[in-house]
Amino acid sequence: MKVSKHFLVTGGAGFLGSHLCEKLLDQGHEVLCVDNFYTGQKDNIIKLMDNPYFETMRHDITFPLYVETDNIFNLACPASPIHYQFDPVQTTKTSVHGAINMLGLAKRVKAKIFQASTSEVYGDPECHPQPEGYWGNVNPVGLRACYDEGKRCAETLFFDYHRQHGLKIKVARIFNTYGPKMALNDGRVVSNFIIQSLQNQPITIYGDGSQTRSFCYVDDLIDAFIKTMESADEFTGPVNLGNPKEFSIRELAETIIDMTGSSSKLEFKPLPENDPCQRRPDISLARDVLKWEPSTPLEQGLKPTIAYFDKILSNR
């Protein structure tokens, strides 16, 4: 098998990172997975270890990294509220210092670099759906600010390095994504509902369940990552990547209860601070430039996701 390019994936043992590493290897590339294993899991990449074109390195990107590579996917950062609020200072450092260190590496080795940004840069949006030109409605001193503002600052750094140093950058704003390899304890709505349903526990809904989200299956998102990285150099983004089909949180819960045959009941709790009421991407730019849009309906993507968690819970 001919190796065509070398890729560095930070956060490569995480949910999205491990799927990306696997896809890049399948395409015949060489991959260096860098992770400090704060939220990443060795189980996510264990089956890749025997591939001679795969290498893993334990490293925290808040410290400089000296390696050689052609392309960098910067995915490192805890992405669920439970994890990023546990150590908010470290979360901000991962986004900001991590961006500086990876951009410095890209500058030194003349690599193209991709930043995994987030729909959280829009905060609790005042326009719907959210286009890339919307500047957001973020509380800079709230509990979520360590993640929201950290990612916003990272975007600033990417575009300043692009303008000042001519770096080849790609910035993608990721909306809610789900699929196998999500962590059991990450506190995200899809994994929470599946785990509670499989154990016939009450389904915890914050607020009245009318708040909306859009859910993109992981395979669709990884396809978008690759298309973004392969796009023309003049296309920098930011570009929204997600599924534009919108569901209420209550609809999601009822769908999962039905698919798992669960006896779980809905349990309502107060809405957390600054939790967005609506979240749906405008993906017109991705459709136009990347020729991409998600193709996996929610129930089709939930089947392997439910099977994944069912297997984990059975093994425990």
Residue 277: the pLDDT is 75
- 217-264 confidence digits (pLDDT tens): 999 999 999 999 999 999 999 999 999 999 999 999 999 999 999 999
Assess whether pLDDT exceeds 60 at residue 2: no
pLDDT band at 119 (very low <50, low <70, confident <90, very high): very high
In the residue annotation, 147 being an active-site residue is answered as: yes
Domains and CATH numbers, the chain: 6-247+257-315 (3.40.50.720)
For 264-268, the CB contacts below 8 A with 24+ separation are: 264/196, 264/197, 264/200, 264/201, 264/202, 264/203, 265/202, 265/203, 266/202, 266/203, 266/205, 266/209, 267/202, 267/203, 267/204, 267/205, 268/205, 268/206, 268/207, 268/208, 268/209
Catalytic pick among 38, 84, 147, 217: 147
Work out the number of other CB atoms within 10 angstroms of the CB of residue 199. 12
pLDDT digits (tens, 9 = 90+) for 57-92: 999 999 999 999 999 999 999 887 788 888 999 999
Closest CA to 21 of 311, 40, 59: 40
Q: Are 148 and 173 in contact (CB under 8 A)?
A: no
Residue 316 has pLDDT above 80, yes or no: no
What pLDDT digit, counting tens, does each position of 148-176 carry?
A: 999 999 999 999 999 999 999 999 999 99
Check pLDDT > 70 for residue 1: no
Measure the CA–CA gap between 47 and 231, rounded to whole angstroms.
Answer: 30
Assess whether pLDDT exceeds 70 at residue 40: yes
C-alpha 275/C-alpha 278 separation (Å) is 9
Please answer whether residues 29 and 58 qualify as being in contact, where contact means their C-beta atoms are separated by less than 8 angstroms: no
pLDDT attached to residue 33: 98
Cα 20 from chain centroid? 11
